[in-house]
Structure formats: C-alpha cells, structure tokens
Structure 1
Amino acid sequence: MRTPLAALGLALAFFLVVISIGGLFVWQGYRDTLNRGEQRAAAAAETIAAHFQWIVEASRQALGRIDDTIGFRPELLSSAELGDMDDAVAGLPDNVVVRVFDRSGREILSTAPSEEEVTIGDRNYFQALRDGESFVISRLLVDRATNRQSFVIGRRLVRDGEFAGIAALIVPSDLIADFWVSLNLGSGSAASIVGDDGWLVTRFPSLESSIDLSNHILFTRYLPEAPFGSYRSEASPADGTSRLVGYHRVAGAPLIALAAVSTDAVLADYRSRMLGIGIGAIPILLGLAGFAGWVFRLLVHDSRRREELEDALAQNRLLLREVHHRVKNNLQTVTSLIRLQPLPPDSKRDLAGRIGAMAAVHEQIYRSDRLEAIKLDHYIRNIADGVRSSFDGSSELRFDMQPVELDPERAMVVGLLVTEVVSNSLKHAFPGGAKGTITIRLDAEGDDVRLAIRDDGVGFGEPRERSGLGMRLIDSFVRQLEGEQRLKGEGGLDFEVRFPLANPVASTFKA
C-alpha cells in the first residue's frame, strides 16, 4: 500500500499547495483592495485640504477688508456699513455670516441679525483673540444666534494699540457636506477638518459636539512622521466604524483635512468578486477531488495486484530454492554412489569433482537471497577448496579475485572449468607428493571477465595433445562461455581464459 499512500500524500500536498496559492491570492487581493482604499482616502483628503486652504486664505482677505471697512471705532458702526461687508465676503460661500463683536464679546453688527442679543465673551476663540492671537479658527460649536453647528474664523481688531473687538466669519458645519458629496466616497464615509490642537472643527456626517483627537494615533503616530498619508482605523473615535483614513495638512492654516472611507464599503466589491471566484472554483475543486479519488482507487487496485504478484514471486522463489536444495542433495547422493562403485580412484575423484562443481552452484543459490546471480569469486573459492581436499591437501591455494557476479548457468560452466584445470594441476604439477602453490586470479576488465590459473609445478615443455578427456572438456567449457583461452607450460601451468560478461549484474559486494 506504499504507492497509494504516497499518491494520497502527493494529492494532499497538491491540494495544500493549491489552497496555499489560493489563500495567498485572496490575501494579496485583500491587501491590494485596502491599499487602493487608503490611496483613495489620501487623494480625497488632499482635495479637501486644497479647498480649505482656499477658504482660509479667502477668509483672511475678507476679514482684512472688514477690518478696513469698520474704521476707527467698531462700536460706532451702523447698518449702512453692512453693504460694504457683503462686498468684502462676496467670494465666500453664500451661507457664511459676518459678525462683529466689541471688546466685551457683545455683538454689534451682523449680516444676519438675531432678535436676541448675542454675546461670546466666554467662547475660547474670543478669549484667544482677546489675549493676543491675531487669527483664530475655532473648534466645532453651536452658533448662539442660529442654533446651528458652525465654526468661526476670527480676526482680532486693534485700535490705538488696544484690543477693540473681533471680526468673525460664522461658517456652517454643513459646508463640508458639499465636498463630501463631490468626492463620492460611498456609504459610511466621512470628511472632517481637525485643528492642530486635536479638536474637531467640522465633520460630515455631523456629530453632536466637537471631540478631542489629540490622543488619537493620527496625532501620536502619523502626523509626527509625515504631513500627509493614510492609515487604517479599526474603530473611529467619532462613531466606532472601521475606516481607511487619509490625512493632509492644510497649507498656511493650523488645520488637518481628513477623508475616511468605510472599510466594509471598500471590501464589499472585493468580497463579491471573491464569492464569484469561489463559486466558479468549487466545481473545479470537486472535479479535481473526484479525479484524485479515481486515481487513488486505481492505485489501490494496482498496489493490491502488485502485492499479490510479489507474494506469488516470493512463493516461487521459495519453491525454486527448495528445488536447488533438492538438486544439490541428489547430486551429493550421486557422488556418494560413485564412490561406492568399483572404479579407478582417479575416475571416481574426477567424476566427484565435476558433480561437486554443479552441486556447489545449487548450494550457493539455495543459501543466497538472489536467484539470478552467483558471486563468482566465492563460488570459485569453494570449488577449488573442494577439489584440493579430494587430493592429499599438501598443495597451497592462493586467491586474488575481484567481486564478479554471473548468471547461474554460466557460473556452473566456470565451476566445471576450474575443477578440470585445478584437478589437472594437482595431478601432474607436483609429482612424488611435492608441495606447490596454485594461484587463481579473477577480475573484470570492461565487458570481459579474465580468469587465470597458474602453478609453480614442473610444467610441460610442449602443449599437450588436446585429445584427452580433460582437455576436450576445457575446450568445450571455453566455447560455452564464448571465450578465448591461452595455455602455457614453461615453468609451471599458465592457463588464462577471457569471456564476455553477458547480462552483467551490478554488484556492490566487497570481497
């Protein structure tokens, strides 16, 4: 079941990657949407700041003209001067009211007279002008003459070096509503003007009263870093709504313009798009899931079939090993029967050696985990030791063999070849029981195998006739191996055969 589990793991990993990419896409889209909302708010704040810069500058000029119109003694003004003051504020919005107050804060002239006497001596903006400020913009307040929310732009009037009163422009708070409508910021948005001291000057939608923002992050964090920018407010200090806020200082005035876009309104279109994408992606994901399930079922079926085949193969291997074991036992039985026969000792030994070479192949296959290859160096060592033990054992065998693996059929031929050559050497190389050494070398050279058998016996002067049984067998074995042989007898036997390593099996075995 490893393959299905691996495939299932791969499928899960694929889905996780798809989900991760989708999540990254959603998150990036979310961030991009918020960034665009902040950019929109920042641009709107810059527009509001530009408009209020014009209003403040126009108000300064209008108040200067009013101061000139009033003349030397403001308290001596009469209604005749009202026409001149109307001309002075002609460039300002129509709903701006001009009022003049004496040094005590009592209204002495207005372009929109009230039936009741209006006094402002307790107002903060009046006190600031009385105490020496030359120009003041008030916080949001309720006009005592009209009972409407407004803010005041005031100028200190000085005569003979002394405070003589103030000239004030009463600006309705709903003036900023026109800007809000023109900016088309959407539902839940807001436009505001805040003074440098943190107090709200005007806002749309309006509030019941001014609020102090001096401890808000706008003043504690963002304004100290830059005179304009944007940020996200999780909860507005005015109404608790989450908004994207753009801010911009008003040039030449102690004011900050704010434009705030509702976060929900900004994300509404994004959520709609994501919902559409999600609805479109569901069939695709379901299709992929169904396809993955179908593939998984196929893999499970294939894995079960593979396991059945592996079990059958293991059973066949076990049976084949048992066959090799039985063949080996039968060959040993044949060897025992040969030894009981009334044959010459040399014939018995030769037959037993040849049968032993065949039995050794079956023995090695039986004891090995691999049926398709024989470790030729181990096999040759066992064969040679067996042949030597069948003689008097006085001669020494030396081995210099590299690891080589060969298929069982060809290995058996090599074993028979080694049996014949070593037997021949033990018979003839050391007459009279002399001791000697037989050296067997085995190595692989490219695609060929080289087997060399040498002894330090008496050798032979000329090549022996190849009509003997042993030589005929050697020639036959070399032909079966499709090899080439070399045989010399000077100074001892020197036999070498080269044959191709047909169907080589990679070996990691170390001798």
Structure 2
Amino acid sequence: MAIATVPVLGIAGGHAWVNYDRALDAGRQEAIMLREAAAARHGAGLDAMQELITGLARREDLLDVAPESCDRTLRNLLELFPDRYANIWLLDAEGRMLCGALPVPRGQGFRDQGYFQSAIAERGYVLGEFTVGTVSGRGVLPAAAPILEPGGQIRGVVAAAAVLEYFVRANRNTAVQQAHNVWLLDRRGTAIPLTGGSDAELPDPPLTASLATGEGQTVEGIARDGTPHVWSVAVLEAELRLMIGISSEAVRALAAASLRDRVLELSLFLLACLAAIVFGAEIAVARPLRVLAARVRAWTPGQRFDPDTRANDPREVLELGAALASASSVIAERETALRAALGQRDLLMAEIHHRVKNNLQIVASLLSMQAGRLSEPRAVAEFGMARDRVQALATLHRHLYLHQSFERIALRPFLEELCRQLSDAMGTQGEEIFHIEIDADDIEIGSDQAISLALLVTEAVSNAMRHAFPEGEGGTISVALQREGDRAELRIADDGAGMMPAEEPPQGLGLRLINGFAQHLGGEVDIRQNHGTEIRVRFPLEHRTADPALLG
C-alpha cells in the first residue's frame, strides 16, 4: 500500500521543491536586475572620465604651452565638474608634475604611483586603486592615460581623480539605497560602500578577493555577520567591479514557509489516502486472510484442512483456501508414506549395525580362540591386539545402534565401555592392578571420526597396559577428552615407567598406528615422557550433521 503512494509523493514533493527553489531564485534575479541598473548608472560616469582623460591625452600641445596656461586649462575643466573630480593634472614621462587644476609644486615626483606605472606599462587608459588624494586629501579613484608621440614614444601622462562621494550621491533616493547595498571593488579587493552597507554585510575576505578579480557573477553565502546574502558583481572596468548585496534572510524564510505549507498539505493528503487504503484493505483483504491464517495455525498435519471461507471473500482468498485444502490431503498421504519408509529405514539401519557388531564379535572370538592355540608369547600378544581392535569397532557399532541416529555417537559412555573392555581383556590380574580414569566432556562426533578415535584409544590404552608397568606393578591410566571451541583434545597418560626411553624415536607398529589415526582425525600426536607416558592429540570437530529425515 505504501509503495502505491511513492509516485504521488515523488511528483508532489518535486513540485514543492521547485516552488521553493523558485522562491529562492527570486532574490538572485532581483540582485541581478539591481546590479545591471547600478552598473549602467556608474558606468556612464566612468565612461565620461575615460573620454575626458583620453581626450586630454591626444592634445600634445599641453606639453608645449607655458605651465601657467596649462594650469588654467585644467582648472577650467575641473570647474565644469566640481562635484565629480577632485583634481586633473599632467605629468612628464618621468612622473614629475608639470601642471594641474589644483596648486602643486612643479617638479614633484609621482613616479611611484600605481596609476602612473600602469599607464606607462599598458600604454593606454588605466584605472588606479581607491586611495586618498595626495593634493585634495579626499577619497578618490584615480585614472590615467599616456600622451604618445606619432612614433609611439611616451611624452607624458594625463591623470584625473574621481571623487568617491560622486558615486555615493549617484545612489541616493534609488531603490538600491532604500533596500540594498552597493560597493565598488578594486583589484585588491578593497570595498568602498556607495550606500549604507557595512563591512559586516560583505562576504568573507577570500570570496571578496575572488569577486574582485573574476568575471561578473552572482553567488549566495553567509556574510561576515552570519546572515544569508546574495551578491551580484558587474565588471565596470578591467580593474573595477560593482557589487550589489541583498539580504536573503527574508526570502529564505518566505520560501521555507511556503515549502512547509506544501509539505503539510501533501502529508495530510497522503494520510487521508493511506487511511482509505488501509480501511479498504482491512475489510476486503486483511480480515479474510487473518481468518484463513488462524485456520492454518489450528490445522493438525495429517488431517484434512478446512479453510472455512465465505462466499463474499476475495476470489484470491477463496482460491488460496481451496489450494491449501488440496495440499493438506496430499501432505497427509505423503506423511503416511514417509513414516512407513522411515520406520523401515530405522529397522534396516539397526539390523545392519547389529549384524556388523555380531560379525565383528565373531571375528574377535575367533582371534581369541586362535591365540589360545598358540604357544609363542609374541604371537599371542599380536593376536590379542588384533582382537582388541576388532572388539573396539564392534563396540562402536553397538553404540551407533543404541544412539539411533546412525550418524553420531556420544563419546563419554563409549569411552567408558571401551576402556572397561580393554581392562577385561587383560584378565583378572589386570583388573586388580590397573585403574582407568575417564574424564570426557559431553561431546558427540560423527561416525567417521569415531572409528579413528576408537582405534587410537585402543592402541594407546593397550600399549600402556602392556608396556608402561613392569610385571607385577600397578598404576593409573587416565583418558581425558575436553572440548576447546570447535576443537577437542584427547589425552591418554599413565604413571608407569614409560613405553621407551625418551631419546629413542617411536618405531613400533602401535605408535605408527596412533600417528595414522591422529592424522585421519585431522590432528598431530604429541608424546611426552615425564613420570610416565602422555599422548596428546588435538583435532578439529566435524560439524557435519545427519539429514533430519534420517534421524528417526
């Protein structure tokens, strides 16, 4: 049901986001419009200053007239624009003062001024940087152009200083002055406010420097006072930018309120749709399905299933109930057949293990009878060892039969019976002098590992009984099996004299068999001889389990 609302949610959410973005974009568009208007207004003043300076630069006669006449000409020009320019002056090719609209000592050097060096280097009209006029003492924006001879040689430089107050006055009583802020930026990133804007409303210094040298662009960000703003920059000259700043806090608040209203409307609409869908699904689908599910939970395998559906239930529910009733009949028949097959399988497996156990016991009895007919002690001992091995396998098959899983065997009772058999095989005397201790955790292992483990224990315990104790002496043989996570450790130790000197390597058949059985278990044998003999084998426990269908 919820998935069905995803397309509606996506369309409505996308529409709300578009409206939100459009409301935010209104602030950017307003900044661009105000920037274009301000750029046109201030660009006209800068163009007029460029025409004035380049016009004077084409008059080579200014360099040939008397200095007093040049002063008079420049002073007359300044009187025409008293509120626009602070001074107009003429320098020679070495940067020395020749004449000016304001009284300045002739010959004073201005060679180190940036506008003079730029005009010489560019050989054309240039704007300087915001500064305080050396002569006028007012905040000005200097500009200059070289006077060139026909051959291209520089004879002098004409310069003028535009009063920054002129640009401020040009913004009075405008929409910008009333609601927004305007700055002039030079190439160093110095910002001159033309309205009431403060430095706190500027972007951070790195962004300001980037805007001062880049092309015209509009950016959004956080001002130095922490409020959101939109700044739009226009290129007035190569070294001069005009920047409009608009606080977008109100715009963002309005856009956010609009987005919240749209989201609220959408949420209420979706809740109403979901309520209708849930109510309809509850009546038409969920309730009949719950009734059918309750009937399934109450159904007992082996009996026929009664769906108890109604005629007005959905067609799918009716078909599902009929299918379950049909399947229950088939399952009941299959279950009866499987139980019969499982019982036959159990009987067959039990018979197999029972016959194998009987056959192995017959073989053990034959070996024991054959040993009784021999007179050579060594041959009798070998037959006895063979009998013990066969008897160990017979005992294993008996435990598999008793366990009735036919795949796994509990080790503790098996080890107790196996060691008791080995002790009985030594005769009455052996029962009096040997004491066997069993310490085994409750571990079950597979039949494959159990065979190797049974033969390994048989070899180790038999060797200890035959070789660890001098004739007539008794002792203790301990068999321990502990689980260590997914591994197990088997330890068989005695407190007798040991099987052999510690420095001699194991060469007997019994020890070779012990090593072979340990490798089959997946472990290695560690034999230690200290106050007796100790055999340790650490091996991984197989996690293979029998098929549940075969457990009986």
- Please indicate the TM-score interval, normalised by the length of the shorter structure: 0.3 to 0.5
TM-score, normalisation: structure 2: 0.41
Higher relative contact order (CA 8 A, sep 6+): 1
